[in-house]
Amino acid sequence: MSDPKPISEPKDVLDLTADVEAGYVNPHYTPIEISRRRFLGRISAVLTGVGAVVVAVPVGAFIVAPLFSSGPGEDKLWKDVGPIDQFKVGDTQAVAFDDPSPLPWAGVTARTAAWLRRDDAQKFTAFAVNCTHLGCPVSWLAGPSLFMCPCHGGVYNRDGTVAAGPPPASLNTYQVRILNGKVQVKATGIPISTE
Amino acid sequence: MRVFKRMGGWLEDRTGFYAALKPILDHKVPYTDWKNGWWYIFGSAVLVAFVVQVITGIALSTSYVSSAGEAYASLKFITDEAVFGNFLRASHSWGASAMVLLVGAHALHVFIIGAYKFPREMNWLTGVILLGATLAMAFTGQLLRWDQTAFWSVIVGANMAARTPFVGESLARFVMAGDTVGGATLSRFFAFHVFFIPGVIFLFIGAHLYLVIRNGISEPPKVGDVVDPKTYRQKYHDMLEREGVPFWPDALWRDAVASVGLIVIIVVLSIVIGPPELGREPNPTVLQAYPRPDWYFLWVFSVLALLPPRSEPFVIIAGPLLVGVMLFLLPLIANKGERSPLRRPWAMGFVLVLVVMIATLWIVGEQSPWSPAFGAQPLNASVVNSTNPQIQTGAKLFNEKGCEYCHMIAGQGGLRGPNLTNVGNRLNESQLITRILNGGNNMPAYGSTLKSDELNALVAFLKSRTK
């Protein structure tokens, strides 16, 4: 495609010889002439850039927002998991409760679980179900008194310490309290190990 | 007939499409004989697989609900009730497998014939992006099959991302779209799978194809025919002038045959084998889960199980990073010289090692010997083969105390620990007791969980396991 109206090359540098000789202009001053065409080109580039930023900022913020959400208030995190006499001393059983950030459309995925053990009359331990290796759900096996992971072969002792396999750390635990005869677990996000 | 001709003429006059396409169809490409030519079909076959994915994917998206609470029900509907729903799910899955397989074959072929060398470095680099995007599609696609396995796979993915130094935790939150796998998670994976990554793929397929036309299809390599950036273009040009053949139909006919073949294979597999099974609903409180990745990542699953734990942070993050960097640097540092595989023994050795390694890890992953056999049934009487009540009790305990999850006796039980069918020949009583009480070599210590009569029964049983 050829330009319908060819134009002469824009002069890059103004000819100021006469002004310099007359002493009006510093001899080291060499202003660059910006042609109309170059000006329009630059303006277009800048405007396009501004347009892109205007669109990109809210979109980017919207997408990375989950990284910075503050989560629910402290008091909302304690979840009932059942009346205290439902649990026998020495037993370890799975309990289910809502995770700390249940969105209305999360359905069944808003639930989460823990392995709750009644150590004595007033003391409970709640183990996170997530293997500290890569997060798969461990199972409590009452016979051998072990937690076993179905994925990469992690095994934990009764107290949550690593018995075998690749896990880098003991099972995580949740805080437990007893309120009005009910056992409550303090829900947190899915424990993620960074080791 | 004349009406059609005139309509065609009108359309061409107003659009010029044919005039624009004709030079591409006619442009000369290297002549390839029967032996070499068929290896060149992989690229177009990936493209066809991608088109199948786009079409079946759009169809599926008309019924799929990308909500964490409802996706499973919509998948059930697509599978069990929707007209051709089962078939479309199957085609999308088999198409995905085809795409991963063919993109791998294409990359390997290009590497083996040294086609990434001058002047096709950018062809290779855009291809690396497309390879990565294909794997990203495979991962996100498996998660959209929102069952129990998908749910736990997100968590595994987040945990892997979390091993990144400094920003690991943020990355993990980014993968899960928050602290938990819930409402926000699936919608995001859906958006990535159907909009973002396909957008990248479209863009780079455009660039990739443009580069194929611009730089020309590489000629089959000849031993001793060395690539020299100073002379290659002229040599290539002269070769085409001398013995080149038109792209269409001399080269494209093979692609056409292969494409039809590929579609037939996808359709047949979809009808005969069907879609991958939709697992249990993604209920995080159901802890009897057995998460396994789809076949294309099964070898990664094996790597994760078999790595020495201490090397993990390095391998999980630095491994893929290193592979990516190597793929990017390859055409930049090795863009000249011999192209023939016969003159590149190191490169071919590398291909061999890579293929054998991945194949081995696949086979091992299929077996997962490191996973406890949770379903192990009590040994039956003919295996126990004893009337001694203590030995019978020991056999029962062998199952109840979880020994059988990891140890096999007479074909029953897990593969994690040594096979104990004839353990009585190898270990005496005190050795057995020591091993059971103290554990070792990845075996938990049972000292605190076994009562002494239980221990005695177990030992009596194991001692009786002789040839």
Q: pLDDT (tens digit, 9 = 90+) per residue, A25-66?
A: 777 766 666 788 889 999 999 999 999 999 999 999 988 887
Q: What is the pLDDT of residues B233-254, one digit of tens each?
A: 999 999 999 999 999 999 999 9
ipTM over 0.90: no
Q: How far is A42 from chain B (nearest CA, A)?
A: 26
> Per the CB < 8 Å rule, is B282 touching A102?
no
**Residues sharing a CB contact under 8 Å with residue B116, sequence separation 6 or more, in sequence order:** B110, B123, B124, B330, B331, B335
d(CA B432, CA B424): 9
Residue B31: phi and psi, rounded to 5, are: -70, 135
Q: What is the pLDDT of residues B119-130, one digit of tens each?
A: 999 999 999 999
Choose among B169, B442, B448: nearest Cβ to A164.
Answer: B442
8 Å CB contact between B64 and B74: yes
Residue of A nearest to B286 (CA): A113
Indicate if the alpha-carbon torsion angle B103, B108, B109, B113 is positive or negative.
Answer: positive
A145-149, B380-384, B410-414: range with highest mean pLDDT: A145-149
**Residues sharing a CB contact under 8 Å with residue A21, sequence separation 6 or more, in sequence order:** none
8 Å CB contact between A109 and B151: yes
Q: How far is B39 from chain A (nearest CA, A)?
A: 38
Strands (E), B165-234: 226-227
Residue to mutate among B155, B438, B442, with most A CBs inside 10 A, is B155
pTM: 0.89
Q: What is the pLDDT of residues B159-193, one digit of tens each?
A: 999 988 888 888 888 899 888 998 889 999 999 99
Residue A1 is predicted with a pLDDT of 47
> How far, in Å, are A12, A14, A19, A31, B440 from residue A26 at the CA level?
18, 14, 9, 11, 87
B392 burial via Cβ count (<10 Å: 0-12, 13-18, 19+)? middle
How large a percentage of chain A has pLDDT more than 90? 59
Would you state the structure tokens that stand for residue B32, as one six-digit string? 């390839």
Tell me the mean pLDDT in the region B46-69: 97
- In the three-class reduction of DSSP (H, G, I as helix; E, B as strand; rest coil), residue B424 is classed as helix
What residue has token string 């736990």?
B152
How large a percentage of chain B has pLDDT more than 70? 100
**Mean pLDDT for all residues in chain B:** 94
Would you state the structure tokens that stand for residue B338, as one six-digit string? 């011999």
d(CA B354, CA B356): 6
Q: How many CB atoms lie within 10 A of CB A163?
A: 23
8 Å CB contact between A183 and A82: yes
Q: How many CB atoms lie within 10 A of CB B219?
A: 21
Tell me the mean pLDDT in the region B399-415: 91
Choose among A101, A113, A137: nearest Cβ to B178.
Answer: A101
Tell me the mean pLDDT in the region B70-82: 97
d(CA A16, CA A13): 9
In chain B, the N- to C-terminal Cα span, in Å, equals 86
Tell me the mean pLDDT in the region B194-207: 98
Residue B96 confidence (pLDDT) above 60: yes
Residue A5 confidence (pLDDT) above 70: no
Q: What is the distance of C-alpha A103 from the center of its chain? A: 16
Q: How far is A176 from chain B (nearest CA, A)?
A: 18
> Per the CB < 8 Å rule, is A99 touching B182?
yes
Indicate if the alpha-carbon torsion angle B41, B46, B49, B54 is positive or negative.
Answer: negative
Residue A178 is predicted with a pLDDT of 94
Q: What is the pLDDT of residues B365-397, one digit of tens each?
A: 998 888 888 888 899 888 888 889 999 999 999
Residue A192 is predicted with a pLDDT of 86
8 Å CB contact between B455 and B437: yes
> Per the CB < 8 Å rule, is B445 touching A163?
yes
**Mean pLDDT for all residues in chain A:** 86
Residue B153 confidence (pLDDT) above 50: yes
d(CA A155, CA A147): 6
- Describe the crossing of helices B345-367 and B85-112 by its angle, rounded to 10 degrees: 150
| Helix and strand numbers, DSSP H then E, in chain B | 23, 6
Q: How many CB atoms lie within 10 A of CB B288?
A: 10
Nearest to B68 by CA among A77, A103, A135, A129: A103
Taking contacts as CB-CB distances below 8 angstroms, the residues of chain A near B163 are: 194-195
- The upper half-sphere exposure of residue A137, i.e. CA atoms within 13 Å in the direction of its Cβ, equals 24
In chain A, the N- to C-terminal Cα span, in Å, equals 60
Choose among B68, B160, B173: nearest Cβ to A109.
Answer: B68
Residue to mutate among A1, A70, A133, A134, with most B CBs inside 10 A, is A134
Q: What is the pLDDT of residues B318-369, one digit of tens each?
A: 889 999 999 999 999 999 999 999 999 999 999 999 999 999 999 999 988 8
Q: How far is B35 from chain A (nearest CA, A)?
A: 44
For residue A89, the 8-state DSSP code is B
**Secondary-structure breakdown of chain B: helix, strand, coil percentages, each rounded to the nearest 5:** 70, 5, 30
Taking contacts as CB-CB distances below 8 angstroms, the residues of chain A near B177 are: 66
Residue B78 is predicted with a pLDDT of 97
Interior/surface letters B251-268, b for 16+ CB within 10 angstroms, e for the rest: beebbeebbeebbeebee
For residue B336, the 8-state DSSP code is S
Residue of A nearest to B148 (CA): A109
Q: How far is B405 from chain A (nearest CA, A)?
A: 10
Residue B95 is predicted with a pLDDT of 98
Q: How many CB atoms lie within 10 A of CB A168?
A: 16
